[in-house]
Amino acid sequence: MPRIAAVATKLDVRTAPLSVIRLHGPGRAEIEEQTGGMWDKIVEPKDDGLKATADIVMQNLKARVDTYVNVNNHYEGGAPLTIQRLLDILRQGSR
């Protein structure tokens, strides 16, 4: 399967006035071992995934589609930090 970002840039995948994107990571065991149960740092950066997510959010913004991004600690190791990284990318793209 192609990544959703690749599909979203080629096709209009919006089917409702809102969109939900889930960033939840591939597997729990490995990242839980890496974090030691402390979810206070990025242990597995996913720069490409965050940039792709930001692209979709920006496309939706232009189309006036509300977008909710659900981030799990298992995505990079610390959900609040991942959210901040996504916000930083979005701010850079809006300049």
pLDDT value of residue 95:
53
d(CA 8, CA 18): 14
Query: Which residues 6+ apart lie within 8 Å of 84 measured at CB?
Result: none
pLDDT value of residue 26:
79
pLDDT value of residue 1:
65
Segments forming the whole domain that contains residue 59: 4-93
pTM of the model: 0.86
pLDDT value of residue 93:
82
Which residues of the chain, if any, have pLDDT below 50? none
As for how many domains the chain has, the answer is 1
- Residue whose tokens read 């065991």: 29
